[in-house]
Amino acid sequence: MRTQVAIIGGGPSGLLLSQLLHKRGIDTIVLERKTRDYVLGRIRAGILETGFVELMREAGVADRMDRECFVHDGTVISYGDNEFRIDFVEHTGTPVVVYGQTEVTRDLYDAREAMGGKIVFETEDVTIHDADSDAPYVTYTTHGQEHRIDCDFVAGCDGFHGVSRQTIPLTVRREYEKVYPFGWLGILSETPPVHEELIYAGSDRGFALCSMRNANLSRYYIQCSLSDSPEDWTDAAFWDELKRRLPAEHAEKLVTGPSIEKSIAPLRSFVTEPMRWGRLFLCGDAAHIVPPTGAKGLNTAASDIHYLYHGMVQHYLDGDDSGLDGYSEKALARIWKAERFSWWMTNLLHRFPDQSEFDLKMQQSEIDFLRSNREAQSVLSQNYVGLPY
């Protein structure tokens, strides 16, 4: 087989890149290790920056999102029973959109299928060859048969555990990582959200987050030990602990119900440099991970796609390689700012096992400063709604 861009990974990043390039007449093939149903069964983030929303519109896949999404003009931050609201629109003129990653992925799959896009599921032994040459190619097997794709470029959108990053030699890449000493226990429940906007809650017992997917589907998280497993937590125990971490006003009106999904996610900050090697380009989790505290994971992937998509359009339509040549540097400049913001919010709201009394006082003072200082709220708002591409 022959294509212009081989895309490794059929999650939202790979699908969005494929759809955008297709709209500009650039041919792609997407390779996905799992089935479509498996990919759509993964529960992920749901906060979209304006830049991501605009990419969906440019790709022609925003109709359902525009109809069904929630537009949030701000968020609530609390510590104990004290809370305050930060108004994103007041500070930046820009809201964020709540629309689940599963729904984003579903819309992209439907669009690729409607346009006859080539997606190969259940691929195994994917290997990228000669990425540092002018003639890269990818081999893989499906149902015991080996296949080969010759291409101009390879886009590695296959996540942290994928083959793309590992293809770049250790003599070339450098990795930076911070592993946090806790995780997030999250549940999905068919209950109305406790608040019309997200609540980021710090407390003496640890962090909690109240989020939503729609008017009758809520997503809640609590900070937990890395040694915990979902089976350690009954639904009743989760709801009781969540209530203890929320302001009493919200705890009293929280509607509880059976969980329909329950999982624990460890928290990590991770960046690899560079994000390009020859004709291989890394995107999203293949190159970087952020803690979910700042809602940046899917959105940092979108900024990568923005830079790579425009670089490839310049290459194929204008004969200009400056966008591709500058991809890694430009993407990383924005990524490190998102990493800083996610790291800062994580440190602001979580309890760490080695915190001293002084550390706790500093944390509380930081929250008090944020509550009372307009400029500090403006900085948080600028980062939360998304820095410009």
User: Is 72 tagged catalytic?
Assistant: yes
Out of 221, 292, 327, 350, the active site residue is: 292
Q: How many CA atoms lie less than 13 Å away from 274 in the CB half-sphere?
A: 15
- Cβ contacts of 4 within 8 Å, gap of 6 or more: 21, 26, 27, 28, 151, 152, 153, 316
Three-state DSSP class for residue 385 = helix
Out of 200, 220, 307, 327, the active site residue is: 200
Number of other CB atoms surrounding residue 133 within 10 Å = 10
- For residues 328-349, one letter each, b for 16 or more C-beta atoms within 10 angstroms of the residue's C-beta and e for the rest, the string is bebbbebbeebbebbbbbbbbb
User: Is 307 tagged catalytic?
Assistant: no
How far is it, in rounded angstroms, from Cα 7 to Cα 311?
15
Q: Shortest CA distance to 207 belongs to which of 192, 194, 220?
A: 220
Q: What is the Cα gyration radius of the chain?
A: 21
- Cβ contacts of 171 within 8 Å, gap of 6 or more: none
For residue 279, which phi and psi values (nearest 5 degrees)? -105, 15
User: Is 250 tagged catalytic?
Assistant: no
Residue 80 backbone class (left: φ over 0; alpha: ψ -120 to 50; beta: rest): left
What is the DSSP code (8-state) at residue 294?
G
Out of 99, 221, 307, 384, the active site residue is: 384
User: Is 137 tagged catalytic?
Assistant: no
Three-state DSSP class for residue 141 = strand
The answer to whether 123 and 145 are in contact (CB under 8 A) is no
User: Is 38 tagged catalytic?
Assistant: no
CA dihedral sign, ordered 178, 351, 335, 102: positive
Out of 91, 296, 306, 315, the active site residue is: 296
Residues in the chain: 389
Cis upstream peptide for 274 (omega within 30°): yes
Pull the structure tokens for residue 196. 């019309």
Out of 12, 22, 72, 316, the active site residue is: 72
C-alpha dihedral, 225 to 231 to 232 to 233, nearest 10°: 90
Report CA 118 to chain centroid distance, whole Å: 24
Angle, vertex CA 85, rays to CA 82 and CA 88, nearest 5:
160
* Active-site residue set: 72, 200, 292, 296, 384
